[in-house]
Amino acid sequence: MEGNDIYTEISESSLEGNNTQADGDVQRKIAARQNIEAGSWKVVKKEGGNVHSDVWKHFGIVVGKENQHYKGFVQCFKCKLIKIYASGSSTSPLKKHVCCVKDTSSSASSSGTKSVTAEMKKSFRDACVQMCVGDIRSFATFHGSHFENVIQTVVDLVAENGRIDAAQLISHPTTISRAVSSLADQKRHEIMPEIRRVMQRGMCAATTDLWTEDFSRRHYVTVTLHYITENWNLTSRVLATQTFMEESESGENISNALKLMFAQYDVDENDVKKLKFTTDGGANVLATKILGVIRLYCADHKLNVVLRTTFTLKLIDLDLFGECGRSVVNAVGLAIDCIKTLKIDINLAKKLVIVPADSTSRIFRTKLPSLQLFLDHFDKVSPCFTILTVFILRRVFLTIFFSVYIFLDRSGSSREWSQCHSGPTKPS
């Protein structure tokens, strides 16, 4: 198959259908090849993300020569075939390409491995589904190079030893936990000389942060060391991530926790003082000068504070709508809620967006899109005001009614009040 034959992919695409979309795809592929040949686009190996698939041994992604932006195409390294591929989508269609099939068949025959049939794949998929449903596992559990390594290990063991009992092969969770701790100690021992060397020379910096896990409300602290190796490679190593055991996240307790982390690497205290720490602007961090070292304010945290302060509801209250800003936002929110609840105008209800709740310290939720959409469709909202007024008045009346009723009930007068307004009660 010639690489410069622009009709190579046309003949293959025509098998997919003769509709208008297929014709448009062919034209896009021709234009992509022309851009590649002209030098404005280029083909590079895929890096980052999911590059574990063998497909990327055969296909490169098409990017712009100047800005390196992905153009939505991939090209076979061998036959130069161009295919349309959306970033992040399944690679199954690419695996059907003849160059991938030939390579898979040849490698399988040379290594003595069997090709996976559709029935085999379905059986394994069904087993994964049963595990996902029965044990409530994440879908991502069955994806990634480490999961592939587990499956390959099992397959190799069966090939070498024949059929084995899976229950006897699986280790107890406690055993796995101890093995993880042992592996961590081993890795820590391996990198200890390098960590001590760069810290003794004062050629590194550190970042640290504390956070709380939402489900169990446990507090964690992490220290990451950043330095440049002798080969001029920027390296970041997580020295430790541990549960913060102290009840108070005071500056003194943070310092003590960090000292214990560095002690695991047998680092001298004087070497620790050579570090420059990058942290957030938490009051507990500022109050204590962590370990007596130089502290730099994290640029990401500073930018977050600036944006959060700029786009909070206070800006809308005071600057956008004046003193009645919050009332305007609440009124618009109530109107949108009523339109969607009462279904006065179904098409209008679909176009409007509910005003989000107030922002938190970590999540910013802007209300401007909801207000803008309400303003854009104001001519359609206006006819609904009569119904909205009745609905709102009814809601206000019921609120007042139940407030009075609860008050009277507490004072023991609810029965008398009900008789006065609904007539005499029937004898039981």
**Domain 118-169 grouped into CATH 1.10.10:** yes
- Tell me, rounded to whole angstroms, the distance of Cα 398 from its chain centroid: 43
- Comparing 100-109, 148-157, 332-341, the range with the smallest average pLDDT is 100-109
Q: Which residues contact 111 (CB under 8 A, 6 or more apart)?
A: none
d(CA 246, CA 388): 53
Q: How confident is the model at residue 388 (pLDDT cuts 50, 70, 90)?
A: low
Given CA atoms 26, 31, 36, 37 in this order, what sign does their dihedral have?
positive
Instruction: With a cut of 60, say whether residue 421 has pLDDT above it.
Output: no
Domain 118-169 and domain 191-300 have a common topology: no
Q: Report the SS3 class of residue 212.
A: strand
Strand partners, 211: 220
Q: In the prediction, which pLDDT does 360 show?
A: 53
Beta strands at 70-76 and 59-64: parallel, antiparallel or unpaired: antiparallel
Enumerate residues 6+ apart whose C-beta is below 8 A from 331.
Answer: none
Query: Residues 108-134: what's their mean pLDDT?
Result: 81
Spell out the alpha helix ranges (H) of 71-144: 92-95, 98-111, 118-134
Q: Where are the domains of the chain?
A: 8-111, 118-169, 191-300, 311-428
The answer regarding whether domain 191-300 maps to CATH 2.40.230 reads no
Q: 65: closest CA among 82, 86, 43, 50?
A: 43
The residue that leads in pLDDT, 47 or 118, is 118
Which pair of structure tokens corresponds to residue 135? Answer: 């044990």
Check if the beta carbon of residue 270 is closer than 8 Å to that of residue 251.
no
Predicted local confidence at residue 417, as pLDDT: 44
Burial (CB count within 10 angstroms: exposed 0-12, middle 13-18, buried 19+), residue 94: buried
Residue type, 256: N
* Number of alpha carbons in the 13 Å side-chain half-sphere of residue 263: 7
